[in-house]
Amino acid sequence: MPDMPALGMGRFLPCSILSRHPYVLAAYERDFLNYVAAYEQALPQDQPVTLFIQLGWQCRKADAAAKLAQDFRAARERLPQISRVLVLANEPEEVTALSAQGMEVVLCHQNAFLDERRYPILPFLGKRYDAIYIARITPFKRHALLSQVESLRLIGDFSEKERSYAEETLRGLPQARWSRKCPSRLIMLPINQAHCGMCLSAEEGAMFVSAEYLLCGLPVVNTANIGGRDLVMPDFAVARVADEPAPVAAAVREWAAKAPPAADIRAATLAMMRPHREKLLALLHAAGVSDEVCGRYARRIPHKLGLRCGQSPWRNLTLGLPWPADMPAAR
């Protein structure tokens, strides 16, 4: 994880610093809540902190929204210096559900903060697979829906406790070429070798890879879902299908036979991302972040807001952002 100040004994604080003057942090909801004690030690005591929260899992269901609101109320009792918590929701239903629980929330989609330069269109690679699915091998990703796809590229790890499930799943997809991992800086290579990308979960978060496919110019096959990934998908590049192997495979064959121009898919996706990027800049400005810093973000917003993706010290310096050594740390 990037921008994580050391807290001694090998522990780290999962967050990204969006501004130090005033103090504005971004974090995923569970990353923050799981490290409340570390934040309590590390955050400045004499400076108000604004916290932007992204959602790693859907919060549109009433029970999920209520649990999140309850957890943040408890966290803020321990951290009075956090003057504001603003949730960046991935779908309108999350705005409704979390607002009903008294949280401050705006629609500002996480997939808009992908750095599109990481996902170029590479026509010289050629197409080797009908479809690609980049997803952890776990039940909610529903790999079994791919059983009738003829040519398939899979990339995704699994936990040790799910080993039996993963091995059984892979045995059921003998037509697939599977890799446990691919370096994030090289993920555009296998994506560009496929005719389309797969989005098969029924419930999760906004699924970054759904937009990674699109930025590389691939159309997608998409099942009905909650979590928000549909919000930045151009309609002409999406085949929405039933949760059955046959319609999934039929949609893959159609995209392999004829897909929209890759450049059109990428351009339309970027156009759908733009309003969310503009909203983030407006939120930062409203939070008191200087015009100079906002101007830097307008030119180059850090990939995934610097969360869970890794950044080099050089990258931070070019943005005028602090590196972990500049963060306050418990001694």
* Domain ranges within the chain, ordered by starting residue: 16-114+273-326, 118-260
Report residue 311's pLDDT band, with 50, 70 and 90 as the boundaries. Answer: very low
Determine the pLDDT at residue 43. Answer: 86
- Of 149, 140, 145, 244, residue with least CA distance to 202: 140
- Of 86, 20, 30, 78, residue with least CA distance to 53: 86
d(CA 284, CA 294): 7
Residue 33 has pLDDT above 70, yes or no: yes
Q: In Å, how far from its chain's centre is CA 56? A: 7
Determine the pLDDT at residue 199. Answer: 98
d(CA 167, CA 312): 36
d(CA 109, CA 96): 15
Determine the pLDDT at residue 14. Answer: 78
Query: Token pair of 44, please?
Result: 């400045």
Strands 129-134 and 194-199: parallel
d(CA 113, CA 280): 10
Q: Is 208 helix (H, G, I), strand (E, B) or coil?
A: helix
Cβ-count burial of 265 within 10 angstroms (0-12 exposed, 13-18 middle, 19+ buried)?
buried
CATH architecture of structural domain 118-260:
3-Layer(aba) Sandwich (3.40)
Q: How does DSSP classify residue 29?
A: H
- Of 134, 130, 135, 137, residue with least CA distance to 253: 130
Report residue 15's pLDDT band, with 50, 70 and 90 as the boundaries. Answer: confident
CB contact at 8 A, 221 and 196: yes
Q: What mean pLDDT, rounded, does the chain reach?
A: 89
Residue 301 has pLDDT above 70, yes or no: yes
Terminal CA-to-CA distance of the chain, rounded, Å? 21
What confidence tens digit (pLDDT) does each residue in 107-149 have?
A: 999 999 999 999 999 999 999 999 999 999 999 999 999 999 9
What confidence tens digit (pLDDT) does each residue in 159-185 have?
A: 999 999 999 999 999 999 999 999 999
Query: Token pair of 23, please?
Result: 């103090």
Q: Is 239 helix (H, G, I), strand (E, B) or coil?
A: strand
Handedness of CA 141, 143, 146, 151 (dihedral sign): positive
The predicted model gives 215-240 an average pLDDT of: 98
What does residue 5 show for φ and ψ, rounded to 5 degrees? Answer: -70, 135
What confidence tens digit (pLDDT) does each residue in 85-101 have?
A: 999 999 999 999 999 99
Beta-carbon contacts of residue 295 (< 8 Å; ≥ 6 apart)? none
Determine the pLDDT at residue 314. Answer: 38
- Of 56, 1, 47, 57, residue with least CA distance to 24: 47
∠ CA 283-185-128, nearest 5°, is 120
- % residues pLDDT > 90 (the chain): 79
What confidence tens digit (pLDDT) does each residue in 241-297 have?
A: 999 999 999 999 999 999 999 999 999 999 999 999 999 999 999 999 999 999 999
Q: In Å, how far from its chain's centre is CA 37? A: 25
The answer to whether the bond into 22 is cis (omega within 30° of 0) is yes
The model carries a pTM of: 0.89
d(CA 9, CA 227): 36
The predicted model gives 14-20 an average pLDDT of: 85
CB contact at 8 A, 261 and 236: no
Residue 328 has pLDDT above 90, yes or no: no
Beta-carbon contacts of residue 195 (< 8 Å; ≥ 6 apart)? 127, 129, 130, 131, 218, 252, 255, 256, 259
